[in-house]
Structure 1
């Protein structure tokens, strides 16, 4: 049997994405409460997300959204990772309120520990990508656009991690739109 790397790339990136998602799932969580949601998208869903990212950039005037919209079209897959919002009942004050009861009166303010857990998951996921020698980048812009089109809609905060298996990392030395 001969397995050609170029023709097996889509199944390779799917296996790698599964491994990266597992790293996010097994990352430590505050009080052991898992509020993290993770999905991988490919093909037409990536194209739809790129268009949503482009529209968001045109509407908000942030040029890096346009660059990132082009950039994810160079990826074989995009992992979306987000956190649902729930107070951890620790009264830590990290969110800016003195107690969780006070914060809960302001549902637009996320629990700071939800964001910390998301950051730890993203760190584990990008470390796993590095272990597997697949190129990636964490993108706020694409995560924000994903929420706009209903991907991970139950999550308060979403980030995207596009994956690329290619000769040159498309997420490095990126051109800006001016």
Structure 2
């Protein structure tokens, strides 16, 4: 196992131990490497081009250049029962009855579950940074992973990892 793969495992542990609402964990991880990583890069590149997704081409190249990618997402994330209304429904029961609508992601999703995922992503990228591994949170990788069936989660983000003299994820042309 090389340094990037070790750090990806540590990042996955950081996601698991990140604090979660009411102590309930619905955040999932998957480490992508090798041939699967190449297929993911192709899925990002093949995503329909619009002015809003033009950057996906750069992301596809970055994914091809990275050593490993960590996917972080929510598979099954029921409402937390606090009836806060942040999801757009008057209460959690209404949201649960609504059913899922599929798009780039599948929702509605409880805002607290998304906060849990965001905190977990922050813990993961902090772990990578502590080990001097370049990384970047990518919406495009999560959407492509869902579309190609790499994960069956409602929401996903990808975090590619790289080592080098320059950070490939922020040296954009």
TM-score, normalised relative to structure 1: 0.88
> Helix, strand or coil for the counterpart of 1:58?
coil
Gap runs ≥5 in structure 1: 1-9
Gap runs ≥5 in structure 2: 101-107
CA deviation profile, 1:65-84 (whole Å, cap 9, x unmatched): 11101111110000000012
> Helix, strand or coil for the counterpart of 2:171?
coil
Of residues 75, 84, 99, the one that matches 1:92 is 84
Report the counterpart of residue 117 of structure 1 in structure 2: 116
The 1:127/1:61 distance shift into structure 2, 3 A limit, reads: closer
Instruction: Report how far residue 86 of structure 1 moved.
Output: 1.2
> Helix, strand or coil for the counterpart of 2:82?
coil
CA deviation profile, 1:25-78 (whole Å, cap 9, x unmatched): 100111111101101111111100011111114378721111101111110000
The separation in 2 between residues aligned to 1:97 and 1:58, in whole angstroms, is 32
Report the counterpart of residue 4 of structure 1 in structure 2: none
> Which structure 1 residue ranges, 4+ long, deviate > 4 Å from structure 2?
none
Query: What aligned pairs does 1:9-158 form with structure 2 within 5 A after superposition?
Result: 11-58=2-49, 62-84=53-75, 85-108=77-100, 109-153=108-152, 155-158=153-156
The separation in 1 between residues aligned to 2:137 and 2:117, in whole angstroms, is 12
The 1:125/1:115 distance shift into structure 2, 3 A limit, reads: same
The separation in 1 between residues aligned to 2:97 and 2:164, in whole angstroms, is 48
CA RMSD of aligned residues (A): 1.5
The separation in 2 between residues aligned to 1:60 and 1:47, in whole angstroms, is 24
The 1:29/1:52 distance shift into structure 2, 3 A limit, reads: same
Report the counterpart of residue 104 of structure 2 in structure 1: none
TM-score, normalised relative to structure 2: 0.90
